[in-house]
Amino acid sequence: MFKRLCFFITLTFFVHACTPKKDEIEVLNEIKLLHKKAFKNRDSTLIKLNKVRNFIKQHSFINDSIEAKNDYMLANYYRFKKLNDSAVIYFHKAKDFVKDSIQNRLELKYYFNCWKFHNQLGNYGDCFTVINDYKKLVKTEDSYYQYMLENIFKAKGDIQKALIHNKLQIKAKLQEGHTVNDISEELIIQAQYELKLGNKQRAFSVLDSISKFENTLNKNTKYNLFRELGIHQFYEKNYSSSVNYYLKALHFLTKGKKNLNSKNEIAGLHKNISESYIYLNAFQKAKQHLDSAKNLIDSNVKSTTKRSILQTQLHLSFLTNKKIDPVQNNLDSIYSYQEQEYTKKFENELIELKKASEREKKIIAEKNDLEIKSLKRIFGFIVLFVIFITVGYLFYKQRKHNFEKQNLQMQQRLLRLQMNPHFTFNTLYAIQNKIEDTPKLASKYLLKFSRLLRLILENSTQNYIQLNEEIEALQKFIELQQLRFPDTFQFQLNLKNLNQDDLIFIPPMLIQPFIENSIEHGLSGINYPGQITLSLTQQNETLLCIIEDNGNGLLNHSKNSKTSSTILIDSYLKKVVKKGINIKNKSNETGVIVTFEIPYKLSDND
């Protein structure tokens, strides 16, 4: 009897020792509930996640996996709020929790989303660091490892290496047990790489290999496959085949599941079908599909798709209307669309800046409230010090916000002044004069003019564009000016310490106003061959730009005068590179020399 009693007492103590305390269970349940509700109301997300952090600090029994999950949720919260620096810190904290191997899909997400966020920010060096850390935990053949490498090289423009890792990713997926249907999207991307590298036959071969498994593919994959085949056939000038593939793609797209991007994709397909019918001279069918594309235009259709639809409409209008008025009406539509896009873009950016400032103020206020509660027992001068720092920080953020707002407004005014309306109408008038005498030559120059407009539409909405795109737009502008002023001047481009196709990105349309001034004013009325020379020299942080002409030079009364466009450019350059524009007459000969420095970046995401 005594032995049984001792055994019962011992067992009771053992069970009690192994049973978590009521406090521990309550805390863990509270954490679970906070994580579950964290993103249901984003206004209180930070408060809930900070409460979990306080639990972690106060209780040693909470394991590291809960802390890693909380850090991961904080990273996603800061990413949503566009507080990128904070998001990066917490993504890395979550990632660093994984030590020896990937144990579950959540740990895989820590690494993958950390890499993905750096990739979205254009921090490719950090991307490679995350990839190298991930490589230590998995086999080299891992499909996620190959996927990350593929997309990094794709973002950097190294298509050859992207193709290599695309193939290794497909091989890894097959080894992991995936089917052909699972890798079909990767094969379609592989075909796109091959086409970009000029390997047309390989691209066709890859797409044909997918077509053999058409019956096993889902509707979305069939849509992507037939759309890609349509694009390939279009570039091969097999327009009838292109139409057939596009129509198949349209069939599967309309039958598949709809999402926010479906309307944009349907509009894009109708536009592509219209383009193919134009080259088949089936103008009525082209118009029907173009009308279908235009009817779909709303807020869910991307601006690039809208612009492409307008350009196709211009092309069709030119081919079906030999008079200049319908063509000019379509050009007016494009100008109107461009103005709307400018206004929308800059208003949205200003609104986002205002919202970001308000969000940061709100977060700071919440943070200060928590700090004040925890510092109630500390001496008063510490509280005053914290308030002083906070006010200073808010003042700094407000000044920064005002500067960014002024900068955006200045850029908006600058972009609207870049394209001189006199040049537009003078060029159209010159083309109109050639329609009756030399219609083929008029068609050629109208095509050049439409391409120039397209470049202006695309480039002027970007903060930075690649150097070769800026030079291409300049050359097309000069060709049209030489149409207006035949045999009047020659243009020469000199590049020093760089090549035209180097990956250098500069602000768009800073050079064009000075070239136009040289043509319109500097070379006006001269009785000898004109010469304009543009020299670009790569320096440590800027491109030195020198524009010379052999024209009339600056008149005495106009030496200190500048057009509104050049004044804005001068103001912009003084803010960015701390140096303005220098315009002066040549010392020993006629003509003007313009010198200024252009900021550049090695990536449009830097």
Q: Which of 401, 417, 433 is the last residue of a domain?
A: 417
356 and 406 inside one domain: yes
563 and 503 inside one domain: yes
- Tell which wins on pLDDT, 211 or 495: 495
454 and 398 inside one domain: no
Tell me what pLDDT residue 339 has.
59
- Altogether, the residues listed in the chain come to a count of 606
> What whole-number distance in Å separates Cα of residue 240 and Cα of residue 234?
9
3-state helix, strand, coil in the chain (%, to 5): 70, 5, 25
Q: Which residue from 462, 580, 458, 589 is spatially nearest to 533, judged by alpha carbons? A: 589
Does a structural domain hold residue 23? no
Instruction: Tell me the average pLDDT across 191-206.
Output: 83
Question: Is the pLDDT confidence value at 389 over 90?
Answer: no
Instruction: Tell me the average pLDDT across 365-393.
Output: 72
482 and 595 inside one domain: yes
Instruction: Tell me the average pLDDT across 215-232.
Output: 82
Question: Is the pLDDT confidence value at 39 over 70?
Answer: yes
Tell me what pLDDT residue 543 has.
94
Does a structural domain hold residue 486? yes
Pairing of the two strands 489-496 and 530-538 = parallel
578 and 454 inside one domain: yes
394 and 430 inside one domain: no
- CA geometry: angle at 174 spanning 168 and 179, to 5°? 135
Asked if 505 and 601 count as a contact pair (C-beta separation under 8 A), the reply is yes
pLDDT digits (tens, 9 = 90+) for 490-528: 999 999 999 888 889 988 888 988 998 888 888 888 888
Tell me what pLDDT residue 355 has.
61
Tell me what pLDDT residue 563 has.
63
Amino acid at 541: E
452 and 593 inside one domain: yes
Does a structural domain hold residue 498? yes
Q: What is the CATH number of the domain that holds 439?
A: 3.30.565.10
Tell me what pLDDT residue 322 has.
56
Lowest-pLDDT choice from 330-334, 353-357, 501-505: 330-334
Question: Is the pLDDT confidence value at 222 over 60?
Answer: yes
Q: Which of 378, 401, 417 is the last residue of a domain?
A: 417
507 and 538 inside one domain: yes
Does a structural domain hold residue 84? no
Domain hosting residue 556, numbered range: 421-599
Tell me what pLDDT residue 345 has.
59
* DSSP SS3 for 261: coil
Q: Which residue from 545, 557, 560 is spatially nearest to 593, judged by alpha carbons? A: 545
Q: Which of 417, 434, 461 is the last residue of a domain?
A: 417
Does a structural domain hold residue 558? yes
Tell me what pLDDT residue 5 has.
47
How many domains is the chain built from? 2
Tell me what pLDDT residue 595 has.
95
Q: Which two tokens stand for residue 505?
A: 């990105």
Does a structural domain hold residue 372? yes
Question: Is the pLDDT confidence value at 548 over 90?
Answer: yes
Q: Which two tokens stand for residue 308?
A: 């492409």
524 and 583 inside one domain: yes
> What whole-number distance in Å separates Cα of residue 603 and Cα of residue 588?
41
- Tell which wins on pLDDT, 423 or 142: 142
Q: Which two tokens stand for residue 326?
A: 């319908």
> pTM, whole model, 2 decimals?
0.47
Highest mean pLDDT among 159-163, 336-340, 428-432: 159-163
- Tell which wins on pLDDT, 419 or 366: 366
Helix (H) or strand (E) holding 5: helix 2-18
408 and 431 inside one domain: no
Tell me what pLDDT residue 588 has.
76
Tell me what pLDDT residue 546 has.
96
Question: Is the pLDDT confidence value at 238 over 60?
Answer: yes
pLDDT digits (tens, 9 = 90+) for 113-145: 998 898 888 888 888 888 888 888 887 678 888
Instruction: Label residue 604 by pLDDT band (50, 70, 90).
Output: low
360 and 394 inside one domain: yes
Does a structural domain hold residue 197? no
Question: Is the pLDDT confidence value at 558 over 70?
Answer: no
Asked if 340 and 302 count as a contact pair (C-beta separation under 8 A), the reply is no
- Tell which wins on pLDDT, 453 or 96: 96
Amino acid at 354: K
Q: Which two tokens stand for residue 312?
A: 């196709």
pLDDT digits (tens, 9 = 90+) for 401-420: 666 656 644 564 455 445 55
378 and 465 inside one domain: no
First to last CA, the chain: 81
Lowest-pLDDT choice from 128-132, 267-271, 373-377, 538-542: 373-377
Does a structural domain hold residue 435? yes
> What whole-number distance in Å separates Cα of residue 182 and Cα of residue 169?
12
Question: Is the pLDDT confidence value at 474 over 70?
Answer: yes
